Amino acid sequence: MRYKTVEFAVQEIVAFHKKFPRKIIHISDSNFPPSKKYLREFLNKLNSLKLRVKLSINTRADILNKYSISELRHMVRCGFIEFLVGVESASDQILKKMNKGETYEEIASALRKLKKADAPIVKTYWMLGFPGETKETLEQSQEALRELLEQDLTDYAIIKLFLPYPGTPPFQEPERFDIHIEKNHWWKYERFSFPPPYQLGSVSMDTLLDHLIAMNYEQLLHLGQKLKIGESVLGELISKGLKDEKRREAKANN
Quote the pLDDT of residue 1. 62
Sorted by where each begins, the domain ranges of the chain are 1-59, 85-253
Taking only the tens place, the pLDDT of each residue in 151-181 is: 999 999 999 999 999 999 999 999 999 999 9
Q: Cβ(63)–Cβ(35) under 8 Å?
A: no
How far CA 179 is from CA of 32, 88, 89, 140, 174, in Å, comes to 33, 19, 18, 21, 5
The rounded Cα 228 to chain-centroid distance in angstroms is 25
The rounded Cα 154 to chain-centroid distance in angstroms is 10
* Helices (H), ranges, the chain: 6-19, 36-48, 61-64, 69-77, 92-97, 104-116, 135-150, 169-172, 205-226, 231-253
Q: Quick check: 243 pLDDT over 80?
A: no
Domain 85-253: CATH class, spelled out:
alpha beta
Q: Cβ(25)–Cβ(53) under 8 Å?
A: yes
Whole-number CA gyration radius for the chain: 20
The rounded Cα 253 to chain-centroid distance in angstroms is 33
Q: What amino acid is encoded at 12 in this protein? A: E
Taking only the tens place, the pLDDT of each residue in 193-240 is: 899 999 999 999 999 999 999 999 998 888 888 888 877 887 787 777
